[in-house]
Amino acid sequence: MYSSTLFKQDRPVHQFRPGDLIVTVESYLRPDTGKLELTLHVEASDQIKVDRKDISAWGFLNKPSHKAILYRLKKCIEDLKSYKGYQVCTDVTGQTFVYAETSAFLSGRHMNSSLKRLGY
């Protein structure tokens, strides 16, 4: 199980609440391959006061099996099960952003099994 803790010790860890996340799915045509791909994009809503709203993004091929995983991940995020919590951090330019650590290793070939472990 994915158990890394990358949170900064000097900042409080907050839990996401309903309405804190905006989850969108977009399709785009890759210019290098000419293939249609899908992106699941997560950003902070206006309830969380930060300068940069982007939190996470995942890319998927436009295949039925990949779409199924994409929509399972979307449901997991919307149910607030995919993140351990978040911290508001400041980058080197002074802008604030949300740092959110995922509750499982939600990447590549591990995505399906991680979602199953989370109940999706």
Which pLDDT does position 8 carry in this prediction?
Answer: 64
pLDDT of residue 116: 94
Cα separation, 114 vs 29, in Å, equals 28
Task: Name the band, by pLDDT with cuts 50, 70 and 90, for residue 107.
Answer: confident
Rounded Cα distance between 44 and 32, Å, is 30
Encode pLDDT of 32-87 as tens digits. Answer: 989 999 999 999 999 999 999 999 999 999 999 999 999 999 999 999 999 988 99
